[in-house]
Amino acid sequence: MKKSKRKLVIASGKGGVGKSMLCSALAMLFAKTKKIVAVDCDADAPNLAIWLGLDPSSAKRERDKTIPVIASARPEIDYKKCNACGLCVKNCRFHALSLKNGRPRLNQFLCEGCGACEVICPQKAIKLKPVQNGEIKILNLKYDFPLISGNLFPGESGSGKVVAEIKKQAEKFKYDLMLIDSAPGTGCPVIASLQGANLAILITEPTPSGFSDLKRVLEVVNHFNIPWSLVINKWDINPQLSSKMEKWTKSKFLGKISYDKQIFKAISNLTPILETNLKAKKEIEKIFNGLKLRLD
Ligand code: SF4
Ligand code: SF4
C-alpha cells in the first residue's frame, strides 16, 4: 500500500452502529503523527462534526467555508410557448408533471431531472435549469486537521453526487491520510464513499441483522477489491454472536468496542470519546495500534 495520500473508509451495512464515533477517534489519533483530512460522506445525516465536539448548527464561524452543490436540474416551463398538448405529462415516468387548469405543473419532489420532458416538448417550451440541492462545509476544528462535510437539502435527491463533490473538495487539501466516514448501507453514496479507498474498516453490531448487513456491504467492498478489516461495536450485548463473527472474519478482525451508555452522555455534551476516560477510549486506542501495523 502506498504510504502517502491513502484513503481509509469507515463503512457499515446500516446506520447507528458507531461509524462516526470510530472515524472521529481514529482521525484524532492519526492526527498526532500524520497530516489528516477528515471527510463526512453521510450527506443525508452528517454527524462527524458532533463526534469531534463541534455543534454544526451553531452560528457560522468566520473561518468555515460553505460551497453550494449543484447536482441536478429541473424543468422550467415557458407558458407563453406551451400549448397544453400534455406530451410532457404523458412521458414523465416519475409522474412529476400533471395538467392543472390546462397547464403542465411540476411537483419538484418527484422530478429526477432526467430531461425527457425537455426533449419531448414540440413547442420547445421546457428548459432544464441547474438547481442547488446541497452544500459542502469546510470546517476548521480545534484539532490540527480540517473536516469536509456536506448535506443534501430536504427532499432533494443525488446524495451520490454530493459525496463525489465532498471528496473532490477534500482532495484539494494536502494529506497523508484521508479518513472517510461513509454513508451507511450499500447504495450510491456508499459506492461513491468507497471509490479509491486503500482500506475499508467495516463496523457492525453483534445482532442477526448487523451480521446480514455486514455481508451485504462486504459484497460491495469485495466488488471493488478493497482490502478490509472488521470492528465489532457493542460486542458484549451478544458475546456468542460476536465471537462467531470474529471467527468468520479470521485475520480481518481488527478489534471490538464495549457497550456503554456513557458514550451517549459524552456525545450529548459534545465531548469526543478520546477526551473521556471511558473503556471505549482504551478499546479504540487498541484498534488504532492494530490498524497502524496494517497500514505500515
Ligand atoms: S409538451 Fe410542451 S407544449 Fe406540451 S404541455 Fe408540455 S410544455 Fe406544454
Ligand atoms: S425532468 Fe424528467 S422527471 Fe423531471 S419532470 Fe421532466 S421528465 Fe419528469
Mean pLDDT within 244-262? 93
164 and 39 together in one domain: yes
183 and 290 together in one domain: yes
Share of the chain above pLDDT 90, in %: 68
Q: Is residue 173, in this structure, part of any structural domain at all?
A: yes
Q: Is residue 1, in this structure, part of any structural domain at all?
A: no
Residue 44's CATH number: 3.40.50.300
| Nearest ligand (C-alpha, residue 131) | 2
259 and 185 together in one domain: yes
145 and 261 together in one domain: yes
Domain total of the chain? 2
pLDDT at residue 189, rounded to an integer: 82
Q: From ligand 1's centre to the CA of 82, what distance in Å? A: 5
Could you tell me the pTM of the whole model?
Answer: 0.84
Q: Is residue 28, in this structure, part of any structural domain at all?
A: yes
52 and 184 together in one domain: yes
Using one digit for the tens of pLDDT, what is the confidence trace for 93-151?
Answer: 999 999 998 899 999 889 988 999 999 999 999 999 998 888 899 988 888 899 999 88
Q: From ligand 2's centre to the CA of 103, what distance in Å? A: 15
Q: Is residue 227, in this structure, part of any structural domain at all?
A: yes
Q: From ligand 1's centre to the CA of 162, what distance in Å? A: 31
Average pLDDT, the chain: 90
- Atom of ligand 1 minimally distant from the CA of 89: 6
Q: Is residue 270, in this structure, part of any structural domain at all?
A: yes
Lay out the sheet containing 6-11: strands in order across.
65-69, 134-140, 146-152, 36-40, 177-181, 6-11, 199-204, 228-233, 253-257
Using one digit for the tens of pLDDT, what is the confidence trace for 57-94?
Answer: 664 565 678 888 887 889 999 999 999 999 999 999 99
3-state secondary structure of 125: coil
93 and 157 together in one domain: no
Using one digit for the tens of pLDDT, what is the confidence trace for 8-45?
Answer: 999 988 888 899 999 999 999 999 999 999 999 988 88
124 and 248 together in one domain: no
Residue 122's CATH number: 3.30.70.20
Range of the domain at 120: 72-131
With bands split at pLDDT 50, 70 and 90, how would you rate the model's confidence at 156? confident
51 and 80 together in one domain: no
Half-sphere exposure at residue 132, Cβ-oriented, CA atoms within 13 angstroms: 9
151 and 94 together in one domain: no
Q: Is the Cβ–Cβ distance between 97 and 106 less than 8 Å?
A: yes
Q: Which of 81, 102, 131 is the last residue of a domain?
A: 131
Which residue CA neighbors atom 1 of ligand 1 most closely?
A: 121
